[in-house]
Amino acid sequence: MASRELLDDVLAIRWPQPHRPEDDEAPGHLPGTAVADAWKLRSAFLQRLEAATAEHSPDCDPLLAALEELVATKKAADEQIRLLLAYGRVYVTPRPYTLETLGQAAGLTPSGVGRAFRSEEILTAGTLTGRRLAAVEIDDHHPDLFPGDASRRRCTWGGSKNNPCTDEPKYAVTDKSDTRWACCDSHLPGYLRSRPAPEPNGHSM
């Protein structure tokens, strides 16, 4: 297939021209906003393709380039979804969004929402919004913080007595009785959710 044909076909799939009956009657009619926007995106894609062809290789493939762009868009959207879920669960106080509510909006099961974000997303959401976690004490893990037990070596906050978490501890977290525990990346969201909401009078801040 000639490369021009391939390019035209990719453009036709990626930015299909909406059929409007009035076009038949009034050729030369000004395109609607949606059509104009699609046209802009299409032109931008062509420009990027031209630039890539000039820079890298003369046979830059429009089909592969379109796929790569869509995957990048999808990844960025997934990342934003994870950040919004983390924000809604951890930073919205005093009543965080429920797993059910968030799941319905995000097309996930309630347990899927719980698994959708980890400590990384929680911390990023906090950085982006400038929100601080209330009534939470988290430090970087260091063996010296613990008086010589399992917490020096592994995550002791997660897991159970019979089925301990063996992951590498990354944080030192403090529970309601001021006892310090070692916590791994995957158990930090659980720790954060277990914290009480801040008192409205600032008592617990």
- Residue 141 as a binder of Zn ion (CB under 5 A): the answer is no
Under the binding rule (CB under 5 A), the answer on residue 167 touching Zn ion is: yes
Nearer residue to Zn ion within complex by CB, 88 or 158: 158
155 touches Zn ion (CB under 5 A): yes
CB atoms within 10 A of CB 48: 13
184 binds Zn ion (CB under 5 A): yes
Q: How many residues bind Zn ion (CB under 5 A)?
A: 6
Measured from the CB of residue 203, what is the shortest distance to Zn ion in angstroms?
Answer: 30
The whole-angstrom separation of Cα 101 and Cα 88 is 10
Give the DSSP letter string of 97-150. Answer: PPHHHHHHHHT--HHHHHHH--HHHHHHHHHHHT---TT--EEE--GGGSSSSG
Distance CA 53, CA 55 (A): 6
Q: Give the SS3 label for residue 18.
A: coil
165 makes contact with Zn ion (CB under 5 A)? yes
Tell me the closest approach of the beta carbon of residue 39 to Zn ion, in angstroms. Answer: 51
| 187 forms part of the interface with Zn ion (CB under 5 A) | yes
Instruction: Please give the residue ranges that form the binding site for Zn ion (CB under 5 A).
Output: 155, 158, 165, 167, 184, 187
